[in-house]
Structure 1
């Protein structure tokens, strides 16, 4: 057994890990896109402007692609994997299998091609290979396809591998993956756990992940391995206070948010503010605008999979409320309507909250809003998620409070708007959540590999893990 990492080890994007069971058989866990400075670094190091998209590893040995969730930094290279000749199964949870074609179609349109025929060809391949798997059910992958005369039929049975998805609480359909590997001793099967992205505790809508019973080898993310989030009550109060202050001068509030996960959590919280606000308060009059066809589609999917919501959200539904579909919520579909809304908001003197992608301001409709409103001192931008190095979101977050500027679409945009960061709304587990996940594994791992984090986060998390699991071998692999 060996593990090769093809992304998300020197940063937080491009998640892609290849598990070799032997020299002839492997499975791939995620196949994500590099973003921000991590994409630029891969280009520079490899002298290839397309490296962040390329599949530079052996596809012939891959017997299965396993998807933890459908954020673009975990699935964005799938079209290139298919183009490289991968024809095997693609396993995902039922909800992820519903969302994934939407994500891939959008990624192709935005970053690759507008050729309808080419896009449909890719989607057809994806749908033919996609296999939905319910949570908590083992799925067998027969990886032994090597003709060896000295292997008996009974021994072949023990060479079949098993995978299982368990809820990760990150976004709808997200999972950590348990993989059981057969060994030459049938009684013992080596169990690996790939965390994917783990959700934060007490997040809206989805329950926090429960640790697996056993992990012999653990591959775990460390996005916030050096940080602690605010408690949900604190971050909710802060979000409410920031918005109320921001709209007190009738300004526009911009919230860059990923279409999957963050947008739905924000809507859930905002509906709570509106529901509990007294009649005549500003909350009863603020327009909430979701300007993203993708986000609207994903919100519909969230409603379709209500059985995955946590107890609190289920209780709200029983009250007859609709936290993802309320009266003051407006969704914008067409690009022409989007442009009209930007102009409309720029001319009017009435507060509004706009939620639009992308979450790191590296593209999408949020860029037009930022171009229009960043120079406006009455406007405010609220960051509620991680901003990777080299993204416009990180630049706005860093330079905005100092009255700096940001480059958007090749133009220098001055920042006069208020800039706020509420880290507690990250969909990622913080340091304590990650440590609790490891602590609650009853049969502790003998090896832990820390991935998906900046160097500082990985180092801080490794130190804490060393104290928590002193007998484990703790690694920080590189590509």
Structure 2
């Protein structure tokens, strides 16, 4: 039985820093993703003292296969290229459009603000990009084993994909012939029945399936009624004449939220939230230049939307660009909005990055709003251990203080968490993805999950008869 060589450079003992090296030949390998470590996972284990650096040799790495552009899957690409990687970067066509935006932001946040250097780097990356259609095989350049790759829709964010790698393997003994082997890397799979994007494409088969396990021990609560619960949470929060701050990643979660909020406003038009404020008078603010840029790309790539979203467009509605939506781009305007919302009593909804409160403009909002009972912080996504977001969720009932940039801020604002809005597949989604295959995979290796989540998912899959191991 063929046993491929697979080395993990991240997301093997946690949920960030995704980077897997798969050997398709003893002299050649490919990287699947190259993401940053976040939260408590920074500087831990294989990440090394500086978790952004590339601390593995690049010899023989033929290509980078990118599942999607979230920072925990793509954030180490600048360091990879700085370390000398000159190979092709294969990804979906939508990811190829989004990746330069992500990398520009990552460079400005962590490396340099020199526009000339950034421009030169992005031009170099564009020469390495190989945009790919979904469901189409591509031969890897200069492969010694006839390897080819295919990207399939993963339903996580725009352009997200799981990657299929098909390559020749040697004969096991003198009585056998060389054959073909198919390894599949799930990247991040999306939840089913979510708005805007289509569900993940069913997987046909795999000899090896490297599967994420972020929610391997949980099922999302009642996804079908989540918009109703979002509306109820907002109605309760806005009675206090304060701001509802929603930390959200610039790509994926922000667009999904806007889609849901547009639908609420459309249905509730003319109705009063409280006092004299009607839904169509409520300010909905996206304070993130990156989120605004991503939303523009989402609007461009409407062919990737699901049928429901397309029908709304045909009826004259604009799910990602509606009248109540305000976008804050420059830093000066951002500071003014933060101060205005802290001082005034005008209800508003603010969506700001980062989703785990580990940086970005959301931090300034937290500093300004946490100390007042009028405001609410509404979490709708996964909060990795060691991030300010996880600390806030843990202190939702007890209160206390939150440390931001070395300063402690008292927590008097209400901390809310709304489940069912995760962009990740839950345990049932992951099981359905595996059970939907025409034949059982030869082996499943679990990555991208906390230890408890991986153990729970392994136990479930084994009970269903699937050969499953936890990657190490």
TM-score when normalising by structure 2: 0.95
Counterparts in 2 of 1:143 and 1:468: CA distance versus 1, 3 Å = farther
Counterparts in 2 of 1:446 and 1:234: CA distance versus 1, 3 Å = same
Match of 1:170 in 2: 156
Match of 2:8 in 1: 5
Whole-Å separation in 1 of the counterparts to 2:193 and 2:159: 17
Secondary structure of the corresponding residue to residue 53 of structure 1: coil
The answer to whether residue 353 in structure 2 is matched with residue 362 in structure 1 is no
Match of 2:121 in 1: 122
Is the contact between residue 142 and residue 160 of structure 1 (CA under 8 Å) also seen in structure 2? no
Counterparts in 2 of 1:144 and 1:320: CA distance versus 1, 3 Å = closer
Deviation at residue 123 of structure 1 after TM alignment: 1.1
Q: Alignment partner for residue 29 of structure 1, among 32, 35, 38?
A: 32
Match of 1:408 in 2: 404
Match of 1:241 in 2: 232
Whole-Å separation in 2 of the counterparts to 1:40 and 1:254: 30
The answer to whether residue 282 in structure 2 is matched with residue 291 in structure 1 is no
Whole-Å separation in 2 of the counterparts to 1:286 and 1:401: 28
Whole-Å separation in 2 of the counterparts to 1:132 and 1:190: 24
Deviation at residue 144 of structure 1 after TM alignment: 4.2
Higher-helix-fraction structure: 1
Deviation at residue 232 of structure 1 after TM alignment: 2.3
Aligned pairs for 1:314-353 (under 5 A) are 314-353=310-349
Is the contact between residue 247 and residue 357 of structure 2 (CA under 8 Å) also seen in structure 1? yes
Q: Alignment partner for residue 196 of structure 2, among 188, 196, 205?
A: 205
Aligned pairs for 1:134-145 (under 5 A) are 134-145=133-144
Whole-Å separation in 1 of the counterparts to 2:246 and 2:386: 19
Divergent runs of 4+, >6 A? none
Whole-Å separation in 1 of the counterparts to 2:378 and 2:106: 25
Whole-Å separation in 2 of the counterparts to 1:222 and 1:290: 30
- Structure 1 window deviating more from structure 2 (330-339 vs 136-145): it is 136-145
Whole-Å separation in 2 of the counterparts to 1:30 and 1:336: 35
Gap runs ≥5 in structure 1: 146-158
| Cα shift readout 1:48-82 (whole Å, capped 9, x = no counterpart) | 3x2x1111222121111000000000001101111
Match of 1:477 in 2: 471
Aligned pairs for 1:377-416 (under 5 A) are 377-416=373-412
Deviation at residue 108 of structure 1 after TM alignment: 0.7
Is the contact between residue 257 and residue 357 of structure 1 (CA under 8 Å) also seen in structure 2? yes
Is the contact between residue 400 and residue 416 of structure 1 (CA under 8 Å) also seen in structure 2? no
Match of 1:222 in 2: 213
Match of 2:69 in 1: 70
Is the contact between residue 92 and residue 159 of structure 2 (CA under 8 Å) also seen in structure 1? yes
Aligned pairs for 1:141-160 (under 5 A) are 141-145=140-144, 159-160=145-146
Counterparts in 2 of 1:42 and 1:114: CA distance versus 1, 3 Å = farther
Deviation at residue 468 of structure 1 after TM alignment: 1.7
Match of 2:276 in 1: none
Whole-Å separation in 2 of the counterparts to 1:303 and 1:278: 24
Whole-Å separation in 2 of the counterparts to 1:136 and 1:280: 46
Whole-Å separation in 2 of the counterparts to 1:100 and 1:419: 33
Aligned pairs for 1:228-307 (under 5 A) are 228-282=219-273, 283-307=279-303
- Structure 1 window deviating more from structure 2 (161-170 vs 133-142): it is 133-142
| Cα shift readout 1:22-46 (whole Å, capped 9, x = no counterpart) | 2210011000000010004249x84
Deviation at residue 469 of structure 1 after TM alignment: 2.8
The answer to whether residue 58 in structure 2 is matched with residue 59 in structure 1 is yes
Secondary structure of the corresponding residue to residue 423 of structure 1: coil
Secondary structure of the corresponding residue to residue 31 of structure 1: coil
Whole-Å separation in 2 of the counterparts to 1:278 and 1:321: 14
Is the contact between residue 193 and residue 224 of structure 2 (CA under 8 Å) also seen in structure 1? no
Gap runs ≥5 in structure 2: 172-176, 274-278
Secondary structure of the corresponding residue to residue 396 of structure 2: helix
Is the contact between residue 200 and residue 208 of structure 1 (CA under 8 Å) also seen in structure 2? yes
Count of residues in correspondence between the two structures: 459
Is the contact between residue 284 and residue 348 of structure 2 (CA under 8 Å) also seen in structure 1? yes
The answer to whether residue 190 in structure 2 is matched with residue 190 in structure 1 is no
Is the contact between residue 396 and residue 416 of structure 2 (CA under 8 Å) also seen in structure 1? no
Secondary structure of the corresponding residue to residue 206 of structure 2: coil
Deviation at residue 444 of structure 1 after TM alignment: 1.3
Aligned pairs for 1:414-433 (under 5 A) are 414-433=410-429
Whole-Å separation in 2 of the counterparts to 1:163 and 1:141: 7
- Structure 1 window deviating more from structure 2 (438-447 vs 97-106): it is 438-447
Secondary structure of the corresponding residue to residue 240 of structure 1: helix
Whole-Å separation in 1 of the counterparts to 2:36 and 2:342: 34
